[in-house]
Amino acid sequence: MDSHDHYRSDADDRVKARRNTPTPFRPALAILGALVLVLNLKWAFRWLLSGCATETILLLFGDHYGTRPFSFIPLWTFLATFNLLYAISATSWLLYWWFTALCYPTIALTCLLQFDFTANFVRKSLRKALRELHFTKDRIALFNLPALEIDQDVDGLMVVRGITISLSSLTIVAHGVELGLKLADDIELAMHVDELTISLFRRINVGDVYCVVKGGKPEMMFADLGDSEGSEAADDDSIFEVDTALLRAATAGSEGFKDRPRLRQSLTGVSWMKDSTAREGLDFVRTLSPDDQQAERQYLTTLKEIQRGSAIYQSREQVIHGGKKYEDLKFDNDKDMRAAICAELHSFPPIVHPPQRSIRVSTLQHLSPPSVRRFLHRLPFLLRLLLATLSYFHPIIFQSVNATGSGKWLTALLQQHVFKHYVSTNGDLRRLAKRVSAWLADAHFCLELNEIESVGRVPVNTAYDIVANLKFSDIVAYRTALQQQLDGKVTEVVRLGGADASVVVPCFLIPHHEHLLPPKPAETDELDLQREEVEKADGVPKTIQAQQKLKKLEKDETSMKLSVHASLPATFSPELLQFIAALVKATKIVEVEKQMDEGVIDDGPASPASPAVTDDESIKPVSRTDSGLRTNFKSLAKNLQQGLRDGGTGQAFREFASDIKRTTTGGMKKAVIGGIVNDRWIAKMVGKVAARLERAQGDLGYSGEVPIALEPYRERAETATKLLP
């Protein structure tokens, strides 16, 4: 036993000894002295009325029993400071009533912390009065919460299966967070987090975050939401919705998960468990036992049910005990395991446990009366002060963020945006498309961002912008194979030494700060001044910068500045390099095909292939084309001679010209593609770049701007004057 444990045991023994002693003499003497003072002196009555005397006596009792809060501060120092604050407040009637208003809640908290009978009484009373609230020890737990329906810029649904609030440590823990967002008509995002911890005024810790990106209507759950007219089953005065398009879609999507048997490993030693819905696991929480031990058991059992029912837990169990799919595979570390879990999560719906009720974001925004909203709108300084405090004291730390996507969706994107219709007319491009699709379509791809530290700064002074900084300790990309012979195999394809990013947002984009928006360019002379600046710009760089600024003014836009830097060295798998080489060649062939269709031959890109001109493979296509031209010319000459003998001179010349055009065009295409697109040169260049990146040191980054239209912010602007701008 170390010295720390020894001192702790001695302190526990002293506390137990104090609790076994008879009624203390010192607190009783303090009570008697307070009564004498109150009966004889006027100021003592005000001292008792303010609550200072009561708090002093309670602290004396708590110190004797060893349960006093802030026990690391000496008793008399604490009491002297507390009574000095009262003495200062007693000099003013305003300060006196402020002190009194704060003192009585302090007395209530002191009783809760110091005396067991007070805490037990409050817990039993709360359990009887509140059906949806679980009170055990110093924790308040909330289960069976309504979902948050996002109906602003995007459609989505967020579910939090449980919340635990710890009063002693000022900590809020969210259990089983599920989020589904419809980002576009053909893109959907699902996020799963088992636990999120908010330590008030310290930090926010987020566990492993799993993101699944789904594309195309066959994969999406929120593809066809339809029009929702609101809740017909809810009361007119209720803020909860019980029948919306998002709830119906989430419930329909989760049915497949509920009906599918899943392997589970029980925390109590049972290897197989029967599937149960979230509501079945939480129904017993509605009727809580007034007994503390029984309430604690119910609380822990509910948390276990939430953990076992999560999609992350069941995907992990499927990977560990998934039968033939993963039986021959060994995962070297947790990163490989997370990649396999991501591949399993792709078959789950975004919302695995949809509740029966939801509340809209727009409804929450209109809960406060219009007069209160108008008043708060006139105090933007208070909002900045609140956001600055929250952002400063709450840095966000992610254990990892894992994003996965289906290779079939990536293949469809390449076919739609790269290969297009050229595959049907070009045999080489068709073979390359098959190579690319074979590597993509039969796999899931996972990007892992590990140990992310995020710090945001909201300025109190509007002269500064909002800045958010992110730091990634490790970045890895995985490929999980789905072929029959390599089913479930996880392969690392890219790895970086880390990365950092920064985002800068203009301060006037904060809500209620429309008074800081720049005036419309059309209403000022700024456009004319900017055009003059373009004309007078010195040099090409300054001219381009001035032109970009002029475009932003004409479109009435601002920008969010984004900077991303990746830390080298970086490693790449050979399969990825072969895929990149094939994709580069395919895009070049598509470019040449497009130029040939438009009747334009661009000789500019032929210069990079010049080092490979001496290579035999780069010369062969041209020689074969020249040989083909000579053979076709002999055949055409014979046809022309036979036509002249038969007397069809005009027809013979027309056929001769048509054959010459067709042969020349086809030969020219092959010659251009053979000269520009060279397999060995492309593979060599890709290999050189990858080899240099594996030995390089430093950062490789990108900085750019994301345009943001100002018109929506101008439409929401209010004309009321600001009290504290």
Distances (CA, A) of 557 to 485, 698, 710: 53, 34, 5
| Amino acid 35: pLDDT | 73
Q: What type of residue is 117?
A: F
Q: What is the rounded average pLDDT of the residues 2-24?
A: 45
Nearest-5° angle of CA 577, CA 583, CA 584? 90
Q: What is the rounded average pLDDT of the residues 475-501?
A: 85
pTM: 0.74
CB burial class (10 A; 0-12, 13-18, 19+) of residue 666?
Answer: middle
**In 10 A of CB 368, how many CB atoms?**
11
Residue 162 predicted with pLDDT over 80 = yes
Distances (CA, A) of 680 to 2, 131, 400, 609, 611: 67, 72, 39, 10, 11
Report the DSSP beta bridge partners of residue 397.
Answer: 205, 453
Q: What type of residue is 233?
A: A
Q: What is the rounded average pLDDT of the residues 653-667?
A: 52
| Amino acid 254: pLDDT | 76
Q: What is the rounded average pLDDT of the residues 354-364?
A: 87
Q: What is the rounded average pLDDT of the residues 569-588?
A: 88
By the 8 A CB rule, do 688 and 627 touch? Answer: no
| Amino acid 371: pLDDT | 84
By the 8 A CB rule, do 79 and 131 touch? Answer: no
pLDDT in tens, 215-245: 877 788 777 765 444 444 444 445 778 878 8
Q: How far apart are the C-alpha atoms of 170 and 200, rounded to whole Å? A: 6
| Amino acid 725: pLDDT | 82
The stretches of 20-140 forming alpha helices (DSSP H) are 25-40, 42-49, 52-65, 75-89, 93-114, 116-129
| Amino acid 260: pLDDT | 44
CB burial class (10 A; 0-12, 13-18, 19+) of residue 520?
Answer: middle
CA atoms within 13 A on the CB side of 707: 11
pLDDT in tens, 292-345: 677 788 888 889 999 998 999 998 888 887 656 676 677 778 888 999 999 889
Q: How far apart are the C-alpha atoms of 41 and 660, rounded to whole Å? A: 122
Lowest-confidence region among 106-115, 132-141, 458-467, 634-643: 634-643
**Cα four-point dihedral sign 281, 282, 286, 288:** positive
**In 10 A of CB 60, how many CB atoms?**
19
Distances (CA, A) of 499 to 264, 566, 569, 703: 37, 4, 11, 13
Residue 163 predicted with pLDDT over 70 = yes
pLDDT in tens, 604-619: 444 344 343 333 333 3
Q: Where are the domains of the chain?
A: 11-114, 133-367, 380-520+556-569+702-716, 574-696
pLDDT in tens, 241-290: 887 888 888 887 777 665 444 433 333 333 333 444 434 434 433 444 55
| Amino acid 116: pLDDT | 79
| Amino acid 191: pLDDT | 95
Which pair of structure tokens corresponds to residue 393? 């004291």
> Do you know the residue count of the chain?
725
By the 8 A CB rule, do 210 and 180 touch? Answer: no
